[in-house]
């Protein structure tokens, strides 16, 4: 599976990091999302789906 | 349930549709939305949409493919104008009547207008059409007056300044964001705005507008002074879009008055800016006009509509971008709370904690998004133990 983020839409709420700290991080000052793993293992699927669900900006997608 | 109707096709409305599908509801969903546009995000409207001339695609919420996948019927533009709870019927302005089994109300808020007549060149800002009109008007390089020192007014001032215009912000509060945060934060923000060249007229009630041939030429203060301006933005607050529900028998006050599970009546739920609900964690009634809440609240409201029994107990979250400052906050900031600064306020990066009844109840980050997130846990723990003094709090 492949995680895709759109930094331009991200509002830095950090919800994705709360949901999946192994996959997402934030820039220190403005909180914009940073992708730690583009192709995480299958075990992380539930966490990534949770992050997609809580992201207010709809800035995260999952392919595969 | 054969039909769920969602009234309001924006942040909370779209999140409600997504949650319905995510929770496994496979029957008919009808969305009634007053705006002709597909769902879009409002926060950029006072920021990048104007300052960086962003195209609509940039602020759209969800691509067309995502909307198609959800399989809801979007009736737009269409306005709901009456609710008959007994017959479970919604009447639209066009006089159509629609039957529902479940209803989610997500109609948001509308900006308050300045009392009295407003000449041309006086604007409010809530939707895409407002932002487009403002963007066009700003291109003719007017002097800008902003009335109101809340989040929206201060953001718009920063944006207008960024594109090089003369900007004066006028408000009757002693410092910006006076209703949201303690004075120290507002004062620091005022300093940042002044540094960027924004003129602030605080403790200065507005009396009305001056005009030349029907177009605004200035804002008149209560003491008679006139601030010259060819464009004025009125950002003095908003009112929940509940007028269409007045005859329905739903409990209406400052918004739709819901219980702890976002329920306004059997099978009728509310979410987003329009919803006032009993926050069982804080033991207080809240209504939150912030983006994050629209998504979160729609999620819980929909779960409960489908049979769950979950209280909605979020830690409120908001953010605001002004000049080079990214403000973010979690939790609540009661007027009687005491502030403690972690880090150096002058350094341009710090976290401010708000203490109340011996606990940390609010945390604000000033260019410190990541550090701030780490204080979130403490707020969740404190929620159980504190009681807010105010019966109703509106975060706007
Ligand atoms: C300029 C601007 C900047 C903002 N910036 C930030 C920010 O930086 N951070 C932050 O946290 N929040 C911000 N917000 C707040 C955030 O955008 C709102 O909290 C969010 O949009 C609320 O979503 P909602 O769906 O509840 O309401 P809305 O987005 O207001 O949507 C309600 C929809 O319902 C429609 N409607 C109303 N009445 C009817 C009816 N009778 N029938 C059918 N449809 C109806 C309306 O036309 C509208 O489309 C900002 C808001 C604005 C306007
Ligand atoms: S949850 Fe969404 S908006 Fe928030 S930081 Fe993550 S990607 Fe950005």
With bands split at pLDDT 50, 70 and 90, how would you rate the model's confidence at A45?
Answer: very high
Nearest atom within ligand 1 for CA of residue B14: 25
CA-nearest of B276, B271, B273, B272 to B259 is: B276
Lowest mean pLDDT, pick from B13-22, B231-240, B259-268, B354-363: B354-363
Q: Say if ligand 2 is within 6 A of residue A57 CB.
A: yes
Contact B292 A9 (CB under 8 A): no
Provide CB contacts within 8 A for B80, sequence distance 6+.
B7, B32, B90, B91, B92, B93, B107, B244
Give SS3 for A47: helix
Give SS3 for A25: strand
Distance CA B197, CA B301 (A): 44
The whole-number pLDDT of residue B390 equals 67
**First-to-final CA distance of chain B:** 35
With bands split at pLDDT 50, 70 and 90, how would you rate the model's confidence at B376?
Answer: confident
pLDDT tens column, B122-144: 999 999 999 999 999 999 999 99
The average pLDDT across B205-228 equals: 97
At B190, phi and psi to the nearest 5?
Answer: -60, -45
- CA-to-CA dists, residue B215 to B210, B212, B218, B291, B357, angstroms: 8, 5, 9, 34, 51
The answer for A 25-64 residues in CB contact with B (under 8 A) is 25-31, 53-54, 56-58
The whole-number pLDDT of residue B237 equals 95
**First-to-final CA distance of chain A:** 4
Interface ipTM: 0.86
Which pTM was predicted?
A: 0.95
């Amino acid at each position: 599976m492949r995680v895709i983020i759109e930094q331009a839409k991200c509002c830095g709420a950090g919800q994705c990091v709360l949901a999946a700290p192994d996959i997402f991080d934030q820039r220190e000052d403005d909180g914009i999302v940073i992708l730690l793993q583009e192709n995480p293992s299958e075990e992380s699927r539930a966490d990534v789906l949770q992050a997609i669900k809580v992201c207010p900006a709809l800035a995260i997608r999952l392919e595969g | 349930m054969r039909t769920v109707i969602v009234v309001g096709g924006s942040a909370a409305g779209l999140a409600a549709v997504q949650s319905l599908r995510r929770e496994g509801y496979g029957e008919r969903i009808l969305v009634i939305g007053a705006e002709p546009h597909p769902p879009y995000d409002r926060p950029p409207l006072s920021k990048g949409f104007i300052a960086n001339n962003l195209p609509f695609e940039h602020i759209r919420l969800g691509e067309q493919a995502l909307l198609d996948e959800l399989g809801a019927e979007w009736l737009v533009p269409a306005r709901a104008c009456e609710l008959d709870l007994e017959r479970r019927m919604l009447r639209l302005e066009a006089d159509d009547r629609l039957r529902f089994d479940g209803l989610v109300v997500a109609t948001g808020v509308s900006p308050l207008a300045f009392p009295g007549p407003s000449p041309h060149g006086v604007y409010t800002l809530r939707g895409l059409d407002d932002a487009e009109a403002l963007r066009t008007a700003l291109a003719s390089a007017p002097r800008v007056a902003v009335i109101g020192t809340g989040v929206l007014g201060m953001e718009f001032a920063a944006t207008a300044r960024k594109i090089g215009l003369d900007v004066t912000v006028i408000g009757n509060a002693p410092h910006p964001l006076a209703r949201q945060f303690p004075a120290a934060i507002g004062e620091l923000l005022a300093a940042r705005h002044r540094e960027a060249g924004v003129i602030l007229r605080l403790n200065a009630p507005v009396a009305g507008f001056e005009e030349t041939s029907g177009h605004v030429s200035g804002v008149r203060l209560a003491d008679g002074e006139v601030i010259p301006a060819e464009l004025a933005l009125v950002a003095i607050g908003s009112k929940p879009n509940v007028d269409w529900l007045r005859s329905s028998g739903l409990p209406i006050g400052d918004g739709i008055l819901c219980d702890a599970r976002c329920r306004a009546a059997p099978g009728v739920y509310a979410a987003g800016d329009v919803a006032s609900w009993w926050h069982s964690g804080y033991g207080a009634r809240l209504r939150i006009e912030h983006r994050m809440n629209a998504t979160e609240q729609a999620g819980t409201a929909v779960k409960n509509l489908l049979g769950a029994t979950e209280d909605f107990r979020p830690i409120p979250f908001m953010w605001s971008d002004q000049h080079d400052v990214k403000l973010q906050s979690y939790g609540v900031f009661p007027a009687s709370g005491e502030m403690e600064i972690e880090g150096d306020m002058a350094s341009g990066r710090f976290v401010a904690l708000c203490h109340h009844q011996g606990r940390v109840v609010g945390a604000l980050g000033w260019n410190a998004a990541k550090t701030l997130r780490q204080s979130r846990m403490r707020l969740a723990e404190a929620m159980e133990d504190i009681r807010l003094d105010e019966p109703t709090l509106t975060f706007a």
